Structure 1
Amino acid sequence: MNIRFEGKRALVTGAGRGIGRGIVKKLAECGAECVALSKTQENMDSLKNEVPGIQTVVVDLADWTATRDALENIGKIDLLVNNAGILIKSSFLETTKEDLDKVLDVNFKAVFNVSQIVARSMVETGNGGAIVNVSSISSRTAFRNVGSYCCSKGAMDSLTQVMATELGPHKIRVNSVHPYLVPSTEMTKPMFVSLPLGALEYCLSRIPLNKFLGKCGGCCQRCLVPIK
């Protein structure tokens, strides 16, 4: 399938590294004008060196007001990928309010915030668009010691359904994708190191293709084709 995005403008959050960085590169390769958002200036500088034509935005999505200020004049966005996320390991009994707030602020509230900003613009222009929320298999399967992360992704899934229902009449399609473990990202590398003997084989046995994604495979391309 040869999908092209010439004339489309895409915003990708959490674009500094990992899956988000790969998505920006793939969208740019497919002709989209990309806006890459990250909280780390160094990551944005290095990404811009690799993909010179992109626009970068540096803001901490955990800050609701700062995010709105940063995106206030972002302009028309046709495609949004809510990819930013954090994971804090702790057991259910040991999870603190502070850690729970940190995870929910980025993994759920920021998705709500950014999507609201972009969707309002899409509705106003009347041209529709597409939004992809990068969830996780952990939204549907419980994993030990990452309860706050699992809950945040479950909340994202519920929000995705609400957004799809409300925004569909405005020609805005909303989907979620649910990656399993991606060993090449900075967030999941430590998890692979600490897995007990046999755990990797067990994980692979649950994946139909029997392999982990090493980098972004461009799977968002189908989801981001705007509704005609």
Structure 2
Amino acid sequence: MAENGTDCEQRRVGMPKEQHNGSFTDASLLNEKKQRDREERQSIVLWRKPFITLQYFFLETLINLKEWSLKLWHRRGMVGSLMLLVSLLTVAYYIEGAHQQYVQYVEKKFLWCAYWVGLGILSSVGLGTGLHTFLLYLGPHIASVTLAAYECNSVNFPEPPYPDEIICPEEESVEGSISLWTIISKVRLEACMWGAGTAIGELPPYFMARAARLSGAEPDDEEYEEFEEMLEHAQTAQVGMTILYLNLTLFPP
């Protein structure tokens, strides 16, 4: 009896140690599997495994097309209404009539807004070059409008040639009638469209991260930390440069 009791106690003492060792073994096996999967993913590139890469690409494309087709079919009423609206706008665009002046005005505004939205997207995406379209395009535009407003004592620039060229209006304006809010109201459309473009440029990485989270795939720790650090530095630098440029533009020394 005493020997049996001693054996039972030894089993009870030994079980947690075995379970503990088993958990360590499972964790190490899981880490090894993650490492192998990571190396396998990194090796699947077009110049190393072109056939496998193209196979995965076409399979993923087919899956996405199937999902999008099902979504469009479930929303066929909205799709039909949108196609009807596009057809009516196309007919109105090509038919001659008195409405063409409004069509041209809307077209001009649309292209102008699309131009600044595109620049905002480029500023957010960067394309690996650190492209900052505020310093290259929006900032100089605001500066030119500001200088012309103080020179002409007005922001009612004749259109055309504005915005391609800024010419002072013929009517005289009161001296000192230009304020900060007057200039802001003149460039608010361009600034808002550029800001909307920067927001749109942030959507692809958001959806990619969301898809990875919903799929249950954990990002690689090292790569994820590097990405977060790089994103934080980029956002800090962009905000600092924007504030500095605005201060130099609107409040010159």
Shorter-chain-normalised TM-score: which range? under 0.3
Higher relative contact order (CA 8 A, sep 6+): 1
The structure with more radius of gyration: 2
Q: Which has the higher strand share?
A: 1
TM-score (norm 2): 0.25
TM-score (norm 1): 0.27
Q: Which has the higher helix share?
A: 2
